[in-house]
Amino acid sequence: MDFKHLVNTRYSVRSYSSQPVEEEKLMLVLEAACKAPSAVNYQPVKFYVIKSPGKLQEIFGCYHRTWFSTAPVVIVVTGLHSIAWKRGSDGKDHTDIDAAIAIDHLTLQAADLGLGTCWICNFDVEKTSKTLGLSSGEEPIALIPLGYPSDENIPVKKRKRLNEMVEWL
């Protein structure tokens, strides 16, 4: 589908069917994420693909919503501060930016394949780091459930009007 249609198609899916995600589709989603651009091409991002029942139970414990535990796959995206580019003039760390680009690629590729995702940022950071055994320089940025939506009603996007967000100079 063209990109305009894809943007309108993607929404935050908060209910997943039990239908498994095909390996081929999962690989396409990960490949899109890994092809995302990053500052100076440093790629300071990692993806933890959680599919095993035991590990899924652990990650479900990092964000307590009943709907979250319906996801057949959860991808935890982390940022590596030691690798990320820092701007010379003020030291600004670009980890969050690079991780977000990769996640946006991931969620859009999923939507293009008929799969649902949802950005979860309000998770338990300490518990997630412990569950994955992350070192101190590696920060979990988002938990991304992945699977087929069980609710196929795409909600209408509520967004600010263009003239509230854009200035012409």
Q: Which of 136, 153, 156, 160 binds a second copy (CB under 8 A)?
A: 160
Q: CA–CA separation, 131 vs 52, rounded Å?
A: 13
Q: CA–CA separation, 165 vs 169, rounded Å?
A: 13
State which of positions 50-79 bind a second copy (CB under 8 A): 50-52, 55
Contact by Cβ (8 Å): 134, 109? no
**Amino acid in position 15:** S
Minimum gap (Å) between residue 127 Cβ and a second copy: 10
- How far is it between the farthest Cα atoms of the chain? 55
State which of positions 100-159 bind a second copy (CB under 8 A): 100-101, 103-105, 108-109, 111-112, 119, 121-122, 124-125, 132, 141, 157-159
Query: What DSSP assignment string belongs to 33-49?
Result: HHTS--GGG---EEEEE
Which residues are near a second copy by CB under 8 A? 1-4, 6-8, 10, 12, 27-28, 30-32, 34-37, 39, 41, 43, 45-52, 55, 85, 87-90, 92, 94, 96-101, 103-105, 108-109, 111-112, 119, 121-122, 124-125, 132, 141, 157-160, 162, 165-169
